[in-house]
Amino acid sequence: MRDSIYSTLARLRPAFGALVCALAIVACDTDHLLRVDDPDVASPGTVAGADKLPTQLAGLIGDFQEGVDGSDASEGLVNLGGLLSDEFSFTETFPTRIVIDQRRMTRSNTTLTPIFFNIQRARASGERTSAAYDEFAPDDAGHSEALSLTGFAEVFLAETYCSGVPFTSLNDDGSLANNDPLTTEQALTIAVAHFDSAITIAQTAGDADLEALARVGKARALMNLGSDNFADAATTVSSVPTDFTYLVHHSANTGRENNGQWEFIWNEGRWSQADLEGTNGLDFRSAADPRTPFTDLGSGFATNTRLFGPDKYSDRADDMILASGVEARLIEAEAALADGQSGTWLDDLNALRSGSGLGLTALADPGTPDARVDLMFRERAFWMYATGHRLGDLRRLARSTARGGYGRNAETVFPTGTYIYRGTAQGTYGTDVNFPIPIEEGNNPASKAIDGCIDRDP
């Protein structure tokens, strides 16, 4: 397990101490006024130089944490992606969030705006940090970590949003350089290139953990790119140890460092661990599976709702697994299944179960190709519950075979039918399978020209 954020911050303490002392000296000079230009922010171009690399990396890690897993003030993509899929159910009253659970979003939804910009901030921060390492310390392990986090931000954007995500750049003076919107495949291809570079640098630096991180990220992007890439994905992760994990860290130090899933479920009761949502949803509670333990927390934020909190995030400082050896083995299993090696596929799944120490019994071969795919994605759902994988998996199931997906009707994959809220029927689910690009992105002329999305297909 790599404890990246804390080791990075530890290296910064001497610099912080020197800064405090310098400020104290200035503050005691009563003959001069303290004048600070741009007191709230530092322009990107002012944070430059080899000595600033740890600061930039720490900033990237913080931006990535908030964009992906949220904080005390921001939902994060894992929260809202789980709400659109079958991982979470709605237990509050906000109209801009219930439509996410209902699969009925619009571009003007104000909840979606900060979430989009937070993950874009993480991506842009990653690009700038990677460029700084490329200039001052190209072979440093931190360069590999920065490239991988950039790649993961790009993967999350591709998995969460419609085709048409712009990768806007930030100039040194803080101004924006608008770029053309990218198709889902283009965004994933860019991520693969970042992971490839991260792998090479990690090998040069001799950092096996960061190499494993990049390999899992690359394989995840390849799986999203379609079945033609499954064999390459399996080869990519073959060297990743099963016990490897890379964590998105949280702490109780500040609200921004809190786990966003703990905040919005355990602390605020706004959504709940779901169970059999919308006909197609998995039995995340009723299966009584040790991989998705939960606690009955009583009433949710809204009256007449029941709140169930995922035990894996029962504290504000609980970490989230971003990449793991377990995911590597699941990728290998899915590639074996796609290659017609059902025996190897089942052995791979059962090896994970028997080695988990959770008392999971061995799986039997369900006997048909469709049933095997069902079981494959069920295992992925339970192993990687509430880690930001489920929405991307449902989209892969609903994606056309021509684009390397499984070609299933979205209404056999996503929650569908009558929408139940507060114990009563509240209309029906919509047809969303991804998030729209917020209307604020219409300030980008290229995005405005396509009304935010190239298409809303899986």
pLDDT at residue 14 greater than cutoff 50: no
pLDDT score recorded for residue 7: 42
pLDDT, tens digit (0-9, with 9 covering 90-100), for 330-355:
999 999 999 999 999 999 999 999 99
Averaged pLDDT, 95-100: 97
pLDDT score recorded for residue 339: 98
pLDDT at residue 290 greater than cutoff 90: yes
Task: Classify each residue of 207-227 as buried b or exposed e, where b means 16 or more C-beta atoms within 10 Å of its C-beta.
Answer: bebbbbbbbbbbbbbbbbbbb
Contact 152, 217 (CB under 8 A): yes
Residues 6+ apart with CB under 8 A from 440: 113, 117
Confidence of residue 44 (pLDDT cuts 50, 70, 90): low
pLDDT, tens digit (0-9, with 9 covering 90-100), for 178-228:
678 999 999 999 999 999 999 999 999 999 999 999 999 999 999 999 999
pLDDT at residue 238 greater than cutoff 80: yes
Domains within the chain, CATH numbers bracketed = 4-251+319-449 (1.25.40.390)
pLDDT at residue 25 greater than cutoff 70: no
pLDDT score recorded for residue 446: 73
Distance, CA of 433 to CA of 394 (rounded, Å): 8
pLDDT at residue 417 greater than cutoff 80: yes
pLDDT, tens digit (0-9, with 9 covering 90-100), for 277-288:
999 999 999 999
Q: How far is CA 159 from CA 225, 233, 340, 444, in A?
A: 10, 17, 26, 22
Confidence of residue 124 (pLDDT cuts 50, 70, 90): very high
Confidence of residue 45 (pLDDT cuts 50, 70, 90): low
Average pLDDT, the chain: 90
Residues 6+ apart with CB under 8 A from 20: none
pLDDT at residue 70 greater than cutoff 90: yes
DSSP 455: B
Confidence of residue 9 (pLDDT cuts 50, 70, 90): very low
Distance, CA of 381 to CA of 413 (rounded, Å): 13
pLDDT at residue 145 greater than cutoff 90: yes
pLDDT score recorded for residue 246: 98
Averaged pLDDT, 375-389: 98
Confidence of residue 442 (pLDDT cuts 50, 70, 90): confident
pLDDT score recorded for residue 176: 64
**Residue 359 burial (CB count, 10 A):** 8
pLDDT at residue 12 greater than cutoff 50: no
pLDDT at residue 367 greater than cutoff 80: yes
Share of the chain above pLDDT 70, in %: 87
Share of the chain above pLDDT 90, in %: 84
Distance, CA of 220 to CA of 233 (rounded, Å): 7
Most confident of 3-7, 203-207, 442-446: 203-207
Length of the chain: 458
pLDDT at residue 31 greater than cutoff 50: no
Contact 279, 416 (CB under 8 A): yes
Distance, CA of 63 to CA of 248 (rounded, Å): 11
pLDDT score recorded for residue 46: 60
